Amino acid sequence: MKPQNITILGATGSIGVSTLDVVRRHPERYRVFALCAHSQVEKLFDQCQEFRPSFAVVRDALLADQLSTLCRAAGLKTEVRFGLEALAEMSSAPEVDSVMAAIVGAAGLEPTLAAARAGKKIMLANKEVLVMAGELFMHAVREHGATLLPVDSEHNAIFQALPADFSRGLSACGVRRILLTASGGPFRTKALDELDQVTPEAACAHPNWVMGRKISVDSASMMNKGLEVIEAHWLFAAPPEQIQIVVHPQSVIHSAVEYNDGSVLAQMGNPDMRTPIAYALAYPQRIDSGVEALDLFKIARLDFYPPDFERFPCLRLAYDALGQGGTAPAILNAANEVAVAAFLDRQLPFLGIPRLIETVHNTMPAGPEGSLADVLAADAEARRIAQHLITDQRFA
């Protein structure tokens, strides 16, 4: 069997590290073609030493020089590139079979779109691609014959539970609704009047998952789930009314699909991202992921609650943006990225995140998602407005 050549966008992040762990277990099946990271040169160098990729990509020329020096000293033949254009090249190179799209935030949009236009197998862990440019991206996937496999644990679970012909419409294939589970994050039961005093450290302490700081804050505000609603809409051609959020603190049921006959098919497993990563890597086969088997007797109970839109206003903002359409989700995402960064830098209180997003949304009208340029322009303007509001200390 010929090894599958893989480019990993976001190699030093949690998804990238987990992907490499699965690849490490199956050296006969996978070869790393390119490792792409933002700025963690030492960590990326260690990965290059182990996996010997043909290429490595970092943010800028200075970092590329640092990594090149390390690689030459170690006798590695890895060629080092830098910048957005290099990311797109590594995603669309003829040698590449599949791309793990795990760059956090809007930065992952262009290289992932390049992979779609090159007809690659895309393992999508970057939800912002679909949030910002869902219509454009899905059109590129269909037009160029790319294969799209969701890696988010929830969307991967839904993909496993849906019928193979779901693309013709959920109702047409007997699906009543999608049940999108959410842990509720670290503040699910915290007193509402205490939320504005929570620290970045508390927000990043997720009870079930080990994730990066940005996505951990998104989970704490439940914006992560709001973005996943938008993602599910595009992935599964699901109208908002057929996507139900279910708060499930144990994170054992990763999501479920309810059918017209009353059946509910759910995918279960320990909360470990290596499970959906392994599923996407080997699809339609299944391989060892290194994840410990689920012990139902140890779990003992599973709890479910409706979402609290008062506690988590980011959920309402996400549904509103999806309903508005056009560039509204891109504006939502951009404002959220700026707000989360400000919160992590202690420039903004926790509840300032939804307040800032809503103000940006009310200040900036959404336009049509006509082209990638339209999306990127909306993203840039929303960031400018959000940053201006923070600088003016409107949300301190």
Q: Helix, strand or coil for residue 55?
A: strand
Report the CATH number at residue 127.
3.40.50.720
What pLDDT does residue 382 have? 97
Give the mean pLDDT of 231-235.
97
What's the whole-number mean pLDDT along residues 51-55? 98
Q: What is the pLDDT at residue 196?
A: 85
Angle (deg, nearest 10), helices 274-282 and 153-161: 50
- Of residues 307 and 206, more confidence is placed in 307
Mean pLDDT confidence for 122-132: 93
Within a 10 A sphere around the Cβ of 58, how many other Cβ atoms? 27
209: confidence class by pLDDT, cuts 50, 70, 90? low
Instruction: Write the single-letter amino acid at 290.
Output: G
Same domain, 214 and 72: no
Q: What is residue 107's predicted lDDT score, i.e. its pLDDT?
A: 85
pLDDT at position 210 is 65
Mean pLDDT, range 243-271, rounded to an integer: 96
Q: Which residues contact 259 (CB under 8 A, 6 or more apart)?
A: 174, 175, 176, 265
* Residue 45, domain member (yes or no): yes
Residue 185 has a pLDDT of 87
Establish if 137 belongs to a structural domain.
yes
126 and 15 inside one domain: yes
Same domain membership, residue 194 and residue 49: no
What b-and-e string marks burial along 333-370, b requiring 16 or more CB atoms within 10 Å of the CB? Answer: bbbbbbbbbbbbeeebbbbbbbbbbbbbbeebebeebe
Please report the pLDDT score of residue 104 as a whole number. 81
> Among 128, 150, 172, where does a domain finish?
150
Q: Quick one: pLDDT band at residue 65, thresholds 50, 70, 90? A: very high
Percent of the chain past pLDDT 70, that is, above it, reads: 99
What CATH number is given to the structural domain containing 371? 1.10.1740.10
Reported confidence tier of residue 238, pLDDT bands at 50, 70, 90: very high
The two structure tokens encoding residue 214? 């940005």
Do 198 and 330 fall within a single domain? yes
Torsion (CA) 216, 217, 222, 228 in degrees, nearest 10: -60
- State the average pLDDT over residues 294-307: 94
Q: Are residues 109 and 204 in the same domain?
A: no
**Enclosing domain of residue 13:** 4-150
Instruction: Give the C-alpha separation, 276 to 299, whole Å.
Output: 20
DSSP secondary-structure letter at 154? H
Boundary of a domain, candidates 150, 173, 204: 150
Residue 47 lies in a domain: yes
Question: Could you tell me if 125 and 203 lie in one domain?
Answer: no
How many domains are there within the chain? 2
Instruction: Report, in this order, helix, strand and coil percent for the chain, each rounded to 5.
Output: 50, 15, 35
Residue 85 has pLDDT above 90, yes or no: yes
* Angle formed by the axes of helices 223-235 and 328-344, nearest 10°: 150
Over range 209-228, report the average pLDDT: 88
Q: What is the pTM of this model?
A: 0.92
Instruction: Please indicate whether residue 392 or residue 4 has the higher confidence score (pLDDT).
Output: 4
Cα angle 125, 128, 134 (rounded to 5 degrees) comes to 105
Q: Is the pLDDT of residue 179 over 60?
A: yes
The answer on 140 and 198 residing in a single domain is no
179 burial class (0-12, 13-18, 19+ CB within 10 angstroms)? Answer: buried
**Greater confidence, 130 or 206?**
130
- pLDDT-based confidence at 241, cuts 50/70/90? very high
352-366 pLDDT, tens per residue? 999 999 999 999 999
Backbone angles phi, psi at 31, to 5 degrees: -130, 135
d(C-alpha 61, C-alpha 72), whole Å = 16
Residue 395 has pLDDT above 90, yes or no: no
Length of the chain measured in residues: 396
Burial status of residue 225 (CB atoms within 10 A of its CB: 0-12, 13-18, 19 or more):
buried
Q: What pLDDT band is residue 213 in, cutting at 50, 70 and 90?
A: confident
Name the band, by pLDDT with cuts 50, 70 and 90, for residue 394. low
Task: Give the Å distances, CA to CA, from 392 to 166, 189, 333, 339.
Answer: 48, 32, 21, 14
pLDDT in tens, 325-362: 999 999 999 999 999 999 999 999 999 999 999 999 99
Say whether pLDDT at 396 is over 60: no
pLDDT of residue 205: 83
> Does 340 fall in a domain?
yes
Torsion angle, alpha carbons of 26, 29, 35, 41, to 10 = 20
In a domain, 385, yes or no: yes
User: Which of 72-76, 188-192, 225-229, 256-260 is least confident?
Assistant: 188-192
Asked if residue 167 belongs to a domain, the reply is: no
- Interval 71-84 mean pLDDT: 97
Do 346 and 216 fall within a single domain? yes
Q: Tell me how far CA of residue 156 lies from CA of 131, 150, 248, 266, 276, in angstroms.
A: 17, 5, 17, 11, 6
**What is the rounded average pLDDT of the residues 47-66?**
98
Mean pLDDT computed over 99-120: 93
